[in-house]
Structure 1
Amino acid sequence: MPDVRSMIAIGLSGQLGLNGHLPWEGNPGPEYKEDVANFFAKTRGHVLLAGPTTARAVPDHERNYMTIVELRSHMHPQETLAKFPGRVVYIGGGPPVWDVYAKYIHHWDINRLPYDGPADRWFNPNWLVAGGNAK
């Protein structure tokens, strides 16, 4: 089994998404730019399993530095993860993905950003409790 991790940025109240995007997308603040740069620095050389929106949002200039797998509902998590033995695998892609994969995640890297606006997707603390319990 690979080393399964997740890296998430959340707003002050746990905001994750708004209308299929990050709620703070396009914000020019340095903490937002630093968050994106940190994500790509940490995921380089590793595997990113992500929902379609997240997988397609990875810029072309970063795609050469990681293995990206676009997750679909018919894919079985254990079978998908088993394809990457000994690798570091990051799980991304929003609540529907984390609802399925949280029990496989052994490390969560959560960055709280100074965003406190609207959202339609929220961080679920139960994902943290589920982590690392899968066999």
Structure 2
Amino acid sequence: MADIRAICAIGTSGQLGRHGVLPWEGRPERPFVEDVERFFDITRGHVLVAGPKTIAAVPEFAARDRTLVTIRSSDDPQEVLARFADRVVYIGGGPRVWDVYAGFIRHWDINRVPYDGEADTWFDPAWLLAGGKAPRP
């Protein structure tokens, strides 16, 4: 059975995104750089399942040492996850993906970053409560 996890960074008030990207994208301050480094370190050697925009944002160097899986809204989550039964699978983000996959996620790796600015996408604590409640692939 796959070990299904999620990994994300959120701002101090739960911010996830703004205009389709991380609101702190490209900021040079060390906490933001460390978050990106941490993401690549933790997901190395594992499977990253995410929507097309997230997968397209993974740099070429990072694509070489993790399995990237692009999902679409028409995909059956159980079928997607069943392909990786003996692997650690990270569900990469965004609300539309987590709304569908939250019930399969057994562990959330959430990094708080020191961002307290504008956002149009927020972390939903209900995703945490859904964890492990979907039928296992």
TMscore range, shorter length:
over 0.9
Deviation of the 1:127 alpha carbon: 0.2
For structure 1, the 5+ residue unaligned runs are none
- What is the letter of the counterpart of residue 42 of structure 1? I
**Residue matched to 2:56:** 56
Partner Cα distance (2:48, 2:62) in 1: 12
Deviation of the 1:53 alpha carbon: 1.1
Partner Cα distance (1:14, 1:93) in 2: 14
Question: Residues 11-50 of structure 1 correspond to what in structure 2 (within 5 A)?
Answer: 11-50=11-50
**Residue matched to 2:98:** 98
Residue-by-residue CA offset, 1:71-114 (whole Å, 9 max, x unaligned): 10110000000000110000012000000000000000101111
Aligned-pair identity in percent equals 61
Partner Cα distance (1:37, 1:120) in 2: 24
Q: Scaled by the length of structure 1, what TM-score is found?
A: 0.98
Partner Cα distance (1:94, 1:56) in 2: 14
Partner Cα distance (1:106, 1:86) in 2: 15
Give the match's secondary structure for 2:117: coil
Cα RMSD, aligned residues only:
0.6
Q: Scaled by the length of structure 2, what TM-score is found?
A: 0.97
Give the match's secondary structure for 1:124: coil
**4+ runs deviating over 6 angstroms:** none
Deviation of the 1:26 alpha carbon: 1.1
For structure 2, the 5+ residue unaligned runs are none
